[in-house]
A = this chain, B = another copy of it.
Amino acid sequence: MMDSFSQKPVGAQALGSDPKKADPIEKILLERLLKLPILARPVGNYRPALKAGKQLYLSGQLPLIDNSLRNFTGRLGREISLEAGQKAAQICTLNALAWVKQELGGLDKVKQVIKLTGYVSGMPGFKDQAKVLNGASELLVALYGEAGRHTRSAVGVTDLPLGACVEIEYLFEVK
């Protein structure tokens, strides 16, 4: 799944097409062989990102790759392994970063990652929501260092839009 993901990035705002133009944060992404996905269409009548004062609010991101959830549907503890859930949380974060770039003009315009709220679809008794979300948190810390260390809530829910296994909402402080 990740192979085709890695090979089919982005679009106008593709990163990697010209590494010399990539900002420092994008260079770290490239070194980790990660690319920003195509900007995902909102699944309703709302906007994916909104800047208010010094804060950038993002809508809940799903683990979409090229607008498809692929195998990232179902519940932790049944169809989705812990590892797949962590990968889904990482992909949510890549989608978030694609919107950050679109809205701010570059990933390096983030001053601080303030908060994540992560919803994990799990079977009754699944308790490892925090481990799942580490797939998002670790990427943000790898990219931004101390500025990527955020507050977070992890919650277990029944079902998420389109049957996604993970949904994450992000709040950033802007430079």
Contacts and interface: CB of A to CB of B under 8 A. Distances in A.
A47 B160 contact: no
B49 A151 contact: yes
A76 to B, nearest CB: 10
Contact of A156 (B59, B124, B130, B159): B159
How many copies of this chain does the complex contain? 3
Nearest to A149: B47
Contact of A50 (B129, B134, B151): B151
A72 to B, nearest CB: 13
| The 7 A-B residue pairs with the shortest CB-CB distance in the complex, in nearest-first order | A60-B153, A156-B159, A46-B152, A44-B130, A59-B151, A45-B137, A43-B130
Interface of A: 42-50, 52-55, 57-60, 112, 114-117, 119, 121-122, 124-131, 133-134, 137-138, 141, 149-163, 167, 169, 171, 173
27 contacts: A44-B130, A44-B133, A44-B134, A44-B137, A46-B116, A46-B137, A46-B149, A46-B151, A50-B149, A50-B150, A52-B54, A52-B112, A53-B173, A57-B114, A57-B115, A57-B151, A60-B154, A127-B159, A127-B161, A127-B163, A129-B161, A153-B167, A154-B160, A156-B157, A156-B158, A156-B159, A157-B158
